[in-house]
Every structure is written in C-alpha cells, then in structure tokens.
Amino acid sequence: MRTSLTLLAAAAVLSTAGIAQAADYAIDPTHTFATFEINHFGATTNRGRFDKKEGTVSFDRAAKSGKVDITIDVSSVSTGTPAFEKHLNSAELFNTAVYPTARFVSDKFVFDGDKVAEVQGQFTLLGKTQPVTLKATQFNCYESPMLKREVCGGDFEATIDRTAFGMDYGVQWGFAKDVRLVIQVEAIKQ
C-alpha cells in the first residue's frame, strides 16, 4: 500500500512537471523604449522616441508561447526639436488629437531554441491595423538582483510602410514611406 501511494505521488509530480507554467509580466516603463527612424531625402535619418508606454506580457518559456499587449502614447513623441514634435503631432502625421495612441497586440511568439526570435502581431496606428513582425536582435530572462523577481526582455525591430496606415505626408516630395521601429522592452514577472 505504501509503495502504491509513493508511486501515485511520484506519478502526480512527474505529470505536472511537463505542464507549462505561463507567467504574467508588466512592462517596465523605465527600461522600455519605442523609437522610430525615417530616411530624410537620403541625406540624414530623422529619429524620435515615444516617452509614455504601458502594457503586459504573458510568457511561457516551456511551451514556447506568449502574448503581448503594448499601448504607446503617440503624443509623447520626443525628438529634441519642439517644432518637429508639433508637426509630428499634427493632422498631417500622427494626428494625436484624433488618434492619441498606437497599439501592438500579439499571441504568436516564434522561438529559436529557448530564445524568442520574433513576435508576430497586429499594429494599430491612425485607426488602421496591419500585421507587423518584430524581430528580436537579442532576448533574455534574468533574476533581477534589485527587484528579486524575474525580468524578461529584448531588443526588437521592424520596418513598416507608413502609408499602409494612411500616413502619406511628403511622399509626393520624396519623403520615405518605410519607417524602422526599434523596440527595447523589459517586463517584470508579477
């Protein structure tokens, strides 16, 4: 009888060992940045950063799956040039009076071994939603010595055609359509 209880207990432990343990993470705004780069007539690159963002991640390393939902306050755009920021917020570009946020939602993580290689999702900008794949240039999870919790994060990038979202200002003069998005994100296990 004792042997059967021991075997039953061992079987219960082994059967749950293979079950994936998804965890929820909150975006750390102090270690998360969303930036963009766009070619300016082949001479220079205009860059900007969005200072306000929030979101959540659900991540299951064992099952190689995850979900992400990140919202960016587009009106928080920062370029270091107030006049450029005013124009970016205008109806000609981000139209933040009508569309104050952009959002990326995904439930498809692609892995290369144990590392996230890309996140495939839907990006909404100016009220239009298009598929976007963020490719990881690096990714890691670690135990934060300060927070005493697991933190996962990485650097991701994608190139989007801004005209697919209805942002076509300056295209007729030769402004680039392609915009490079660079996302640095760290999220803290809850």
Q: Cα separations (Å) of 73 from 49, 95, 115, 137, 187?
A: 11, 12, 29, 24, 18
The answer, yes or no, to whether residue 27 has pLDDT greater than 70, is yes
pLDDT band at 2 (very low <50, low <70, confident <90, very high): very low
In a domain, 91, yes or no: yes
The greatest distance separating any two alpha carbons of the chain, rounded to the nearest whole angstrom, comes to 84
Provide the residue range defining the domain that includes 89: 20-189
For the segment 37-62, the average pLDDT, to the nearest whole number, is 94
Any domain includes 61: yes
pLDDT value of position 151: 96
Q: What is the pTM of this model?
A: 0.86
pLDDT, the chain, mean? 90
Distance between the two ends of the chain, CA-based, in angstroms?
A: 41
Whether the pLDDT of residue 30 is over 60: the answer is yes
Quote the CA–CA distance of 27 and 184 in Å, as a whole number.
Answer: 11
CATH number at residue 57: 2.40.128.110
Q: How many domains does the chain have?
A: 1
pLDDT in tens, 130-179: 999 999 999 999 999 999 999 999 999 999 999 999 999 999 999 999 99
Distance CA 188, CA 190 (A): 6
